Amino acid sequence: MTEGSALDRAMTLAEMAPHASVTVGVLAGREEAFPEGRLHRPPVTRLDGTEAPAYVLTNAKRGIGLGTKRNTTAPASDRGTAVVVTDRRTLCLVGGDEDDSVIEVPHDSVVAASYHTGLLANRFVLRTPRKQYHCWAKRSTSESLLSAAAEYVEERTSETPDEIEVDDGANQLTYRGQPISREAHPGVPDEPPADSGSADGDGPDEAGVESDTAHGADGSDSEIQYRGKPVDRSE
């Protein structure tokens, strides 16, 4: 696909998209903040012929959390991350030093889609039967966009989801066949180092309380935790 045809297709897809987050700049790799491109290849060149993007999430400092939010990839210093939710899949693209990392999560492999809002960053989370993907979004991303993207994916899931067989490091930690969270069990072996609370993170604040709140596709809030224990917000 030539640069001109990529731009033309990006313009068409952006006009057809149901949400304003799908922009020509991101799809065609023409964002002012990334003179050399957020990615090595514009996202539009990775879409199938009839594939249509519906929502786009971006981040400049974090990539995709594989299995747990602490196991997060990072883009190169002059690159970034784009998460494109299409009518078929969620396409996670992270710009590296020499090439882009590409992770594909088909809707028919998803068990649940949710999102987390935090003090310093937001996440869009996809769970398959044995894997979990944390797609980081910049803090200015509206909750309405995260909620709409989660609902969009949930509406396209299968009653019998197919597992993603690619060994991408996103396997969930399990106990007796049930997924558990490393964040809620700090004593679990091989736990990655705790988040440092960087300017684009959503790690614990100075009091140790998790700074992000989980929401399902319907927008319902989950519990806040402190050192792996539920916190009663009524107190």
Helices (H), the chain: 3-16, 24-28, 143-154
Whole-angstrom Cα distance, residue 217 to residue 172? 20
What range does the domain containing 55 cover?
A: 3-231
> Residue 84: which CATH number?
2.30.29.30
Question: Domain count of the chain?
Answer: 1
pLDDT of residue 181: 55
Q: Which residues pair with 121 in a beta bridge?
A: none
Q: State the pTM of this model.
A: 0.78
Query: How do beta strands 122-127 and 173-175 pair?
Result: unpaired
For residue 178, the model assigns a pLDDT of: 54
CA 36 to chain centre: 23
Q: Which pLDDT belongs to residue 85? A: 98
Q: What is the block-wise mean pLDDT of the chain (235 residues), using blocks of 10 residues? A: 88 98 97 95 96 97 94 95 98 97 97 93 94 95 97 95 87 59 48 39 34 69 46 42
Alpha carbon distance 222, 175 (integer Å): 21
Q: Which residue from 72, 140, 117 is spatially nearest to 211, judged by alpha carbons?
A: 117
pLDDT given for residue 25 in this prediction: 97
- Quote the CA–CA distance of 141 and 215 in Å, as a whole number: 15
The residues that bridge with 83 in the sheet, in sequence order, are: 57, 92
Sheet strands (E) in the chain: 53-59, 64-66, 81-86, 89-95, 100-106, 112-118, 122-127, 132-137, 173-175, 178-180, 212-216, 224-226, 229-231
